[in-house]
Amino acid sequence: MDYFRIRGGTPLQGNIRISGAKNAALPILAATLLTRDVSSLSNVPHLNDVTTMVELLGALGAEVSVDETTMLQVSAAALTNQRAPYELVKTMRASILVMGPLLARFGAAEVSFPGGCAIGSRPVDLHLKGFEAMGAEIDVRDGYIVATTRDGLVGCDFTFETVTVGGTENLLMAAVLADGRTILRNAAREPEITDLVCFLRGMGADIAGDGSSTLTINGVSELKASHYRVMPDRIEAGTFLVAAAATRGRITLEGANAEHLGVVVDKLRDAGVSVLVEEGRITADMRSGRPKAVDLITAPYPGFPTDMQAQFTALNVIAEGEGQITETIFENRLMQAREMSRMGADIKIDGRTVIIRGREQINGAPVMASDLRASASLVIAGLAAVGETDIDRIYHIDRGYERIEEKLQSVGANIVRKSR
């Protein structure tokens, strides 16, 4: 099993190019099932989750290829079945996103209950309630969610009880081919959803309200081919910015979009980081000294993203002062705090809040990753620590970061991938 060995204490210095966003690429790949035409996608990151989604499309009968320019092409002209198998769905929660496109195009879909990171309960009940509001019949058989329609999906006025990114994406994709108008209220507002909307518009979908909490979709009879470039990964960008701050270095990110980061940049500045924003570039400079601890509470976009909470936990560990971080989205997403305690961090867990008193120095230690973003936070802690840190179970990080060790090596990090 692979692990990272990190020798910390070196300030990061240099430039890193940001990859395409995993959380945008996955729903866009699912949306290619909505048309018989060939869809072409660029800036798709090379990640385990993307590979799983490509395998899932193939299992459904789609043909996926990569041309000489690394453009990903998907043809779903002749799908052979509408059943997403357990073997693939169990490893990635985003697999549930094929349900909306399959139900919209074929009137039937069978998807195993999804898996993914063990960060807490992420029920799909709001997806299913939305499909039922659009006329689908839902049943559960042998661990599979079975959805069918008698005469196709119909538009509806649906309000999400709580904000859900996956639910918004799934119902949005289902609605573009439904009969009539669909209004989705209390919809998620993440930039990745806007990216999906832009892709669907390129296919001929009629959607209004992206960027707001109300989406209005007028169903069309069919969708056409689309050629699209996936947005840059704002979470990868945020992770590298925090790594620069934690190591008291200076990093410039190429191809990043600061508008997508929002409050993350604000919190970095609160921590004393000099952040320079230019078109397509973000520079974080912490060479002036030790960062300051910050308080934050996670919230749906445009609030502070849950996917950046663990990284800021690592920053607070070596920061000056005391900071409190509260996780409101997922109940089990503070597990990295216990591992950081093994490195000498002064951390107290109180329910969904971690209280951190920053220390001038933490020490390398053997630690174990519990999920994707916890993996990234332990990498940051290891880069900032004195001595050697071994991080086990890094298959989590391969789900969401493209060649992270190579990118960090390019800016001076002493990090290597090893096998036991």
Strands 13-17 and 250-254: what pairing?
parallel
In this prediction, residues 328-347 reach a mean pLDDT of 87
Which are the catalytic amino acids?
117
Mean pLDDT taken over the chain: 94
pLDDT of residue 117: 37
Strands 414-419 and 227-229: what pairing?
unpaired
Which string of DSSP letters, residue by residue, matches 43-84?
A: S----HHHHHHHHHHHHHT-EEEE-TT--EEEE-TT----EE
Q: Is the peptide bond before 232 cis (omega within 30 degrees of 0)?
A: no
- Please tell me the least confidently modeled range out of 45-49, 174-178, 180-184, 216-220: 45-49
CA nearest neighbour of 15 among 244, 243, 248, 254 = 254
Cβ neighbors of 258 (< 8 A, separation 6 or more) are 265, 277, 282
Percent of the chain with pLDDT over 90: 85
Are 284 and 256 in contact by the 8 Å Cβ rule? The answer is no
Give residue-wise pLDDT tens across range 271-299. Answer: 999 999 999 999 999 999 999 999 999 99
pLDDT for 332 beyond 90 = no
pLDDT of residue 118: 40
Which string of DSSP letters, residue by residue, matches 372-404?
A: HHHHHHHHHHHHHSBSEEEEE-THHHHTT-TTH
